[in-house]
């Protein structure tokens, strides 16, 4: 009962759970998604991370002016 081992094409991963080429939801660029949950290209991801990494300081209304 080792027949299933001879048919790699039969092996199926859960849909959307396997690495594949997808389109970025942000810029519609085709990128390599490493699996489920990856719908944004690394570029946009970096941008998002970059954005969310920015502290809302230096805007003028900071409580840093403690003098």
Residues engaged in binding Zn ion (CB under 5 A)? 24, 26-27, 29, 41, 44
Cβ-based nearer residue to Zn ion, 18 or 48:
48
- Taking the complex as a whole, the smallest distance from the CB of residue 26 to Zn ion amounts, in Å, to 4
CB 21 within 8 A of CB 33: yes
Cβ-based nearer residue to Zn ion, 18 or 27:
27
41: how many CB neighbours lie within 10 A of its CB? 21
Cβ-based nearer residue to Zn ion, 30 or 57:
30
Distance CA 28, CA 17 (A): 20
């Amino acid at each position: 009962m080792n027949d299933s081992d001879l048919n790699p094409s039969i092996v199926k991963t859960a849909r959307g759970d396997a690495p594949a080429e997808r389109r970025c939801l942000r810029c519609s660029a085709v990128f390599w998604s490493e699996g489920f949950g990856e719908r944004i290209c690394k570029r946009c991801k970096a941008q998002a991370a970059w954005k969310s990494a920015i502290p809302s300081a230096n805007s003028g209304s900071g409580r840093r002016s403690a003098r």
